[in-house]
Amino acid sequence: MKRVSRLTYAAALAAMMATSALPAFVVPAQAATLSGGFDVGPGGFQGNFNPLAATSGFTWLSVYYEPLVTYDEKLQKVVGLLASSYEVSDDQQTYTFKLADAKWHDGKPFTAKDASFTLELAKNAKTGSVLAARLTAISSVEATDDKTLVIKLSAPSASLLDTLTKVMMLPEHALTQIPADQLAKNSWWSAAPVGTGPFKFGRYVTDQYVELTANTDYRGGKPALEKVINRYFANPAAAIAALRAGEIQFTYVDSNDLNTFRDNKDFRIIEGNSFVVNYLGFNHDSSIWKDLRVRQAVMYAINRDAIIQSLYGGAAKPANCGYVADQVVPQDIEAYAYDPEKAKKLLEEAGWDKINGNKPITLLTYYTTPLAANVMAAVQAMLAQVGINVTPRAVDTPTYNSIVLNPTPDVAQFQMVYAGLQNGPDPSSINVGLNEKQIPPAGPNVVRARMPELTKALDTALGETDATKRDARYQDVCKVMNAELPWGTLWVANRYGVASAKLKDFVWTPAPGGGPYQAHPEKWSIAD
């Protein structure tokens, strides 16, 4: 008995010490290992290992897989990767790819048969491929020899190359035995996948991290790093804590968390275009937005410059149509400069008192970040000043989708949305959000825009086979959007990553969906 009591005392003492502070024994980072939060933020997709099912997460997937073609690191043009070169026929319906001399991680050669096998998988929705609908224009895929792949289309498609950047090549010899409908459930993806990229799959520790090791036979040269580790985080804040504690060397960072890294020599801030245009979507099924003057009033009532300065710290560009890129924005469009008096006048002319007056209008969003909450509050206050009474409501993504994608929606639940849509690098991205043919359930035209002139402009731009005229066609789209206001367009914000100053030759950009783009992981290195 006596001994037990003493033991209890000793244990109590030990526990008390444990609950207070323990002496430091920090483990130094291993040399030649880069740890990062590669799947943190909007471009990431933690826990997904299957590139056919990837709606995002390409930054990480493209460290060990490779597509035929990819974007350059500025996201300006599509360049060859596993295809050393490619040609497009004059009628824009035949694409011929010359393949590079690459090897799979298991040593077998990469051939055109692998490429055609992968494209067949991607076209087949039974595999769980989310790319199938975007590849329907392909009529045939043929491996004419080991190093030549010919893709024929039934009609020209301006977005084919963009889609192909997301088709990661998969090895026929490893996957051909698995029935298409069982492919997604196969454990191959997270156990022992084989790609052609600069790093090979090492292991996945469930919900903790994925470890890759250098592919010493990589055709672009032996990687400088020995290992790359992708740590999983429940939220960006946890990743920032790990970055500041020195456990990881890189992560995506929300713009309002950037200040702690500014003027800090240990870190480098990487800024890039989000390619997502934020907008206030008018639900055109609701009668209150029918009058163009009301929609114009919303544009004039919001002081976008003030919001950009005070909430985004200047890191956003006002959008007066779906685009902000110079080549697709015409010079002479309306700038909708902040003018609350004009807004009030327009509302009065339209008879806003009779249309809706002071009744509350639900402003629905799936953005749940503190920044978005501040933006919504600012918009609410600015609209209230001119007599439009909106009530912000933030819900999670599945709830948002179930409300807005419902084929027979309850208009009262979302008279207005605060949302975003990818507007580049391929400008045709916004088509699905505005084309009349894309009204749910067909597509995500959630604002139910039924504007014949806009649909026509979008169709013309998408069908333009002459690459030199494409920008002009998208300028037409911009012009119509600016005049008709299917959305109250707001801005395109920048996104950020923060990397340790020790990282050398590290290429990252906040690409939509995580890319892919030419990141050259084989060149990444870390200073001691």
By CB under 8 A, residue 23 contacts other proteins: yes
Strands (E), 183-238: 199-205, 209-214, 227-231
d(CA 381, CA 374): 11
Of 26, 107, 179, 354, the one binding other proteins (CB under 8 A) is: 26
Question: Could you say whether residue 188 binds other proteins (CB under 8 A)?
Answer: yes
Of residues 44 through 83, those in contact with other proteins by CB under 8 A are: 47-50, 53, 55-56
Least separation in angstroms between CB 123 and other proteins: 12
Question: Do residues 44 and 60 touch, judged by C-beta distance below 8 A?
Answer: yes
- Residue nearer to other proteins on the CB measure, 103 or 227: 227
Residue range at the interface with other proteins (CB under 8 A); choices 65-73, 168-176, 241-249, 378-386:
241-249
According to the binding rule CB under 8 A, does residue 12 interact with other proteins? yes
Least separation, in Å, of the C-beta of 72 and other proteins? 21
Residues in the chain: 528
Name which of 420 and 516 has its Cβ closer to other proteins: 420
Residue of 42, 156, 330, 409 interacting with other proteins (CB under 8 A): 42
Number of H helices, E strands in the chain: 16, 19
Told to check if 128 binds other proteins by CB under 8 A, we report yes
472/329 Cα distance (integer angstroms): 9
- For residue 308, what is the enclosing H or E element? helix 304-310
User: Smallest distance from the beta carbon of 345 to other proteins, in angstroms?
Assistant: 34
Q: Which of 88, 137, 371, 395 binds other proteins (CB under 8 A)?
A: 395
- Examine residue 209 and tell whether it contacts other proteins (CB under 8 A): yes
Of 84, 380, 401, 494, the residue at the interface with other proteins (CB under 8 A) is: 401
For 168, which DSSP code?
A: B
| Position 494 contacts other proteins (CB under 8 A) | no
Backbone angles phi, psi at 386, to 5 degrees: -100, 0
Least distance in angstroms from the C-beta of 205 to other proteins: 7
Torsional sign, CA 95, 101, 106, 108: positive
| Minimum CB distance to other proteins smaller for 396 or for 528 | 396
Please, are residues 310 and 253 in contact by the beta-carbon 8 Å criterion?
Answer: no
The answer to whether the beta carbons of residues 74 and 290 sit under 8 Å apart is no
Show contacts with other proteins in window 262-291 (CB under 8 A). Answer: 276
**Region near other proteins per CB under 8 A, out of 86-94, 171-179, 245-253, 484-492:** 245-253
251 binds other proteins per the rule CB under 8 A: no
Q: Is 444 in the site for other proteins (CB under 8 A)?
A: yes
**512 sits near other proteins (criterion: CB under 8 A):** yes
Distance CA 363, CA 392 (A): 5
- Contact flag: residue 28 with other proteins (CB under 8 A): no
What part of residues 221-240 is at the interface with other proteins (CB under 8 A)? 227, 229, 231-235, 237-238
317, burial (CB in 10 Å: exposed 0-12, middle 13-18, buried 19+): middle
* Residues in 362-381 at the binding interface with other proteins, rule: CB under 8 A: 366
CA distances from 508 to 62, 105, 136, 270, 519 (A): 12, 24, 31, 8, 6
Could you tell me if residue 505 is left (phi over 0), alpha (psi between -120 and 50 degrees) or otherwise beta? left
Among 105, 134, 147, 470, binds other proteins (CB under 8 A): 134
Of 358 and 402, nearer to other proteins (C-beta) is 402
Smaller CB distance to other proteins: residue 96 or 190?
Answer: 190
- Distances in Å between the alpha carbon of 480 and those of 55, 420, 458, 473, 474? 29, 19, 10, 11, 10
CA distance 283 to 287: 9
Q: CB-based contacts of 396: which residues, under 8 Å, 6+ apart?
A: 366, 368
Q: Site for other proteins (CB under 8 A): how many residues?
A: 97
Query: Per-residue contact track with other proteins, 422 to 441, x per CB under 8 A?
Result: x------xxxxx----x-xx
Q: Where are the beta strands (DSSP E) in 133-192?
A: 138-145, 148-153
- Tell me which stretch binds other proteins (CB under 8 A): 143-151, 242-250, 310-318, 338-346: 242-250
Work out whether 27 is an interface residue with other proteins (CB under 8 A).
yes
**Residue 231 Cβ, how far from other proteins at the closest point, in Å?**
6
